[in-house]
Structure 1
């Protein structure tokens, strides 16, 4: 039986939280060699402990470490695998009106899981904080395997380095799948029963303007979806029955801006119909996300977590509008298989979105209070 905490509660979060100033300063001091790695870890441990207590006080039953140990939501995980190096490309990721810091992950050898992977170590600390509370589930979020694949072919330099090690995608996908599968099983052995795969690849595929550019480069929209599905599902085989695997689809979340736009229809036949997860965390906080109609492709019995409350801006949505939208979604997914959530995390990177900690917690309170009105 898959962990059903979310299904019972019908409210959730995506997982990252605004970084406290104390944490930002400690990371700056570490990079400038004013403090040691051990001193940085002590600050992280203290602030994560405080965050978990705040999550519990707010009424959350599924908690995270806020991604306080990460610089990015995805790259830190990639850097933790064997065969990957941290590189500085000439450009960062291009968002709607900003460019991110310039960091990437590049292949330098065969990709393998390492027993000291940072995500595994991070989870073990989080689990200890809640080990005596049977009502709390500790979740670990990791970037999807497809996101890893996408990063490795992100630009010409990455692709050139990749092909020196992997001449074809079959071997690459097999190694990514194995490395992720071993990470997932290691997390399970450490007690984790709830793992979320964060994935921007599908969010980029739905963007018609972005895809027109990629098509001019010779890429086929259907073929790349087959690749993304293959690499994700390669990691999701032979897993324990009581391990909940979900995925969150994002169109970019950096400093309150976005990278892609478009409804889910172009990817529904692959993502919804065929990815081996039990729940989909989906952005629906503005018109860029399209309507609910593609949810007809979600198989019977799987859950859809509606990201109707934006994490990008401080203004609070009205409970009435949220209730109306949930009711609208029941045309496509039964109410018992729907949940309410924020649209994304509050800080996918260290920079965080443009709202205060108080406004962040007000958003979470809105999610919880509104869900209790809908699912009485």
Structure 2
């Protein structure tokens, strides 16, 4: 199924990307777990309490698209590839097997990292156990039946480990001959997860993709060309990988993609305007909604939005999660107006009203892509989420 014939109404106008800061009790318990001072069962009990509190926080503030805050994850990508049959965890793979042109890998090389934990495909990939089904079942118990459709599950992009190691070092070449075979089986595993979540009532799945923004980086493009890697072909491959994952989905299931520039304890890994990839990404990626990071000049201006098709939504990540500095409501409103005005000059043509109807606002990323979180406080987090809701009401409720 192609989303070209879908027209889902925009999601709620004020959103957050997914992860939330771990409350103090969970932060301490996770620290204990990492240091082997408590059991997984001990940790799970505190995680559940933190999820209850995070749901209450979102509802109290007026955030309608509810997540579990990723409270059960140590890192945003955990719980997917590590649960697939055919994938082998390698705690100390040599850094030489990681591609140095990938922005966050380049930092590892620069800091003298010799080895890094990763996952390598050693056999045929199968989904023999669920990724987040049990998490969703618990989340459902915390909202009314009418609110279940508004719950959002976040899941890492199928390209996450591939971009680290490339087409030659991601999978055993005796198992998969090429990327097409590899991503076909990854996609099947994703579809099985999506189908089960849908059966349970999930109607919004967000794919977190830190790779697409890397293709906006001149440094990475230069590095890929020096390594004789066809970056346009690889971009096509990563777009296809997601399309395979969401193929044949029900028409009332919203699929969104968050394009991330890095969010490791408040750090970013890449910069560059979306212009390099916008036309291809917006028009060939079979999703309904794009979460775009626009919290700093490194993301460029809004010109890329001229390429947004009329049946898709752009969520502008205008509020940063990387620092406690508070954004100004008037400036946020002005930026949304600027984005809508630019869209009226794009193709296809659209009115200002139509453009505004395709826009929402959000945080630029999660508050805690890793369990340690970003360098802000829970009070800062609350203020930023409240600001989003207040500004959205002013723009779209008037």
Q: Deviations over 1:314-368 (max 9, x none)?
A: 1111111111110111124400110011101001111211110100111111111
Partner of 2:315 in structure 1?
305
Q: Deviations over 1:252-296 (max 9, x none)?
A: 111111101101111113211110111110001111101111112
TM-score of the two chains, using structure 1 as the length reference: 0.92
Partner of 2:384 in structure 1?
363
Equivalent positions of 1:59-208 (< 5 A) are 59-88=62-91, 89-90=93-94, 93-94=104-105, 102-115=116-129, 117-134=130-147, 137-151=150-164, 153=165, 158-159=169-170, 161-208=171-218
Residue 3 of structure 1, CA deviation: 6.3
Give the match's secondary structure for 1:129.
Answer: coil
Separation in 2, partners of 1:50, 1:293: 39
Structure 1 residues 278 and 14, CA gap change in structure 2 (3 angstroms) = same
Separation in 1, partners of 2:21, 2:55: 13
Report the more deviating stretch, 164-173 or 275-284. 164-173
CA contact 2:254–2:288 (8 Å) conserved in 1: yes
RMSD, aligned CA: 2.3
1:351 to 343, 348, 372: 372
Residue 148 of structure 1, CA deviation: 4.4
Q: Deviations over 1:128-165 (max 9, x none)?
A: 211445387211000122334324x2597x43x53242
Structure 1 residues 184 and 68, CA gap change in structure 2 (3 angstroms) = same
CA contact 2:322–2:376 (8 Å) conserved in 1: yes
Q: Which runs of 5+ in 1 are unaligned?
A: none
Separation in 2, partners of 1:118, 1:210: 31
Report the more deviating stretch, 29-38 or 306-315. 29-38
Separation in 1, partners of 2:166, 2:32: 31
Give the match's secondary structure for 1:251.
Answer: coil
Partner of 2:21 in structure 1?
18
CA contact 2:85–2:124 (8 Å) conserved in 1: yes
Residue 311 of structure 1, CA deviation: 0.8
Matched length? 370
Separation in 2, partners of 1:345, 1:301: 26
Q: Which runs of 5+ in 2 are unaligned?
A: 1-5, 99-103, 344-354
Separation in 2, partners of 1:2, 1:123: 26
Q: Deviations over 1:211-269 (max 9, x none)?
A: 21121111122111111111111111111111111111011111111101101111113
Is residue 50 of structure 1 aligned with residue 64 of structure 2? no
Structure 1 residues 95 and 372, CA gap change in structure 2 (3 angstroms) = farther
Separation in 2, partners of 1:352, 1:96: 19
Structure 1 residues 269 and 372, CA gap change in structure 2 (3 angstroms) = same
